[in-house]
Amino acid sequence: MYKRTSFLFTLVLVFCASSHHAATGAVLPDGSLRFILPAVQMQDMALPARPFTIRKVAREYYEPNVLLVKTKKQYAMSGELSFPDASWALALKPLAVKKIDAPFVSNGTAIQSLTPTGIERIYEMRYDAPVDVYDACAALATHPDVEYVSPVFIRKTQMKPNDSYFSSQYALARIQAEQAFDVAQGAASVKIAIIDSGTDFDQEDLAANLAVNPGENGNDSQGRNKRTNGVDDDGNGFIDDWRGWDFVGNVSVNEYSSGTVREDNDPKNRFAAQLDPARDHGTNSAGCAAAVTNNGKGVASIGFKCNFIPIKCASEQIPVAVLRGYSAILYAARLGAKVINCSWGGPGGSPAEQDIINTAVGLGSIIVVSSGNDGVDIDDPDNQFYPALYDNVFVVGASNANDRAAGFSNYGGNVDVYAPGDNIRTTRQGNLYGDATGTSFSSPIVAGLVGLLVAHRPTWSNKQIMHQIRSTCDNVLNPSSR
């Protein structure tokens, strides 16, 4: 306790001595952090200045020795140890910073044109000092150049593994998919990003709906199309990403904790799913949203002809955890994904993550997320679950075969709609099929429906799409407690 107090006192003295701007951050008695975020004007929406509280969560839900800081000034950073400002050099000395990067700058290179949300001013800071991340954030919160500072939260997939099989897909009957297919059957031009554990894009009932990035033509020096030519053909900073991206690679826990990732253009999870069904999570989700329909095999999906972009945010050596999910959201939006599915979440909210979501929405994406599987009211501050509690996301709870909210599903006013999520027949790795349970599978069903509606009504705004789905849903809740 003495060391913590001394550390905080040292940095507070430094900041007070150098401050000439009003601080936007404060530390609450329970260790949570509170910031006043500035107003943001985007193309089709305006966000007023507003408070954001980063609540203290259990140690297992945030990464050690790494934080995100959004500064008021903009710097070109790539591996530096401090910002080019004397007050920062003094402030960061107790942390023993080992690297500062700008992870959300397009192409990861020099400063780009400014975004409305200012995500190019968000920096990832890794340090070696034995200081808890919340203590480090608290010490930096009142620096005059800080807009906010946040831990990097660990998200977990929302699946309850279930190996039972059924002869029919009740979910499609419950949402009246056959009637919908008489009107619309989706379109390959509508891309649904599956940000998850990795997806078997060669699965027999998924392969034909795999989205191909047209910007990565893969032509070599002789003009031959080889897909992987080692060149970033579309200049988006991702070499040969013609079928999605792996943001993590097969790294160990220790490697990831030290900041090591091995990104590549193979978004499959190469772990044998038979040994751990959680490794099938991305393939399960993709099947719910965009399995090839009316092809005489496997399962149908509400997305029908919509294509999917597989994006891997997990390591084969780290089960369940979703890593770098918000980098993936930004990548998907910049790639042109109209729908982004996030079947994962956990406690702890960060303004950086909200900024990324706002940026993706500003680029035209609809972000569909799961409500979680704890059976609790997420409107209660004690039951926080993100990204479901962020603005500008479409939140999906789970219903069952009886058209009632599933007992495991989180609920509350922040949950926009419910969709079948109990024993959902879907795709598995290796041309297999099975049933999966959880809001993880309610979410991609709605993501597929969003894609179907986008293809049918291409002139509708994102808000019109979401309101149409919400306003035509059945009430699966108890009306007395709605």
What pLDDT, in 10s, does the model give residues 16-74?
333 345 567 889 998 899 999 998 887 777 888 899 999 999 998 999 999 999 999 99
Report pLDDT for 420. Answer: 97
CA neighbor of 393 nearest in space, from 342, 321, 436 = 342
Report pLDDT for 5. Answer: 34
Strands laid side by side in the 366-370 sheet = 245-246, 307-312, 191-196, 339-342, 366-370, 394-399, 417-420
Q: At residue 346, does pLDDT exceed 90?
A: yes
Instruction: Give the whole-angstrom CA distance, residue 379 versus residue 382.
Output: 9
Low-confidence winner among 164-178, 254-268, 310-324, 437-451 (lowest mean pLDDT): 164-178
Amino acid 66 reads V
For residues 83 and 1, the model is more confident at 83
Beta strand spans in 317-449 (E): 321-322, 339-342, 344-345, 366-370, 394-399, 417-420, 424-428, 432-437
Report pLDDT for 455. Answer: 96
73: three-class secondary structure by DSSP: coil
Strands laid side by side in the 344-345 sheet = 321-322, 155-157, 344-345
Q: Are 414 and 389 in contact (CB under 8 A)?
A: yes
Residue 105 — pLDDT band, cuts 50, 70, 90?
confident
Residue at token pair 């918000």:
326
pLDDT tens column, 125-175: 999 999 999 999 999 999 999 999 999 999 887 654 432 333 468 899 889
Report pLDDT for 229. Answer: 84
pLDDT tens column, 207-264: 999 999 988 876 655 555 556 788 888 889 999 999 999 999 999 999 998 899 999 9
Whole-prediction pTM:
0.85
The tally of CA atoms less than 13 A away on the side-chain side of residue 279 is: 19
Q: Where are the alpha helices (DSSP H) in 20-102?
A: 86-92
Report pLDDT for 19. Answer: 38
Mean per-residue pLDDT over the chain, rounded: 87
The token pair that represents 456 in the structure block: 């049918």
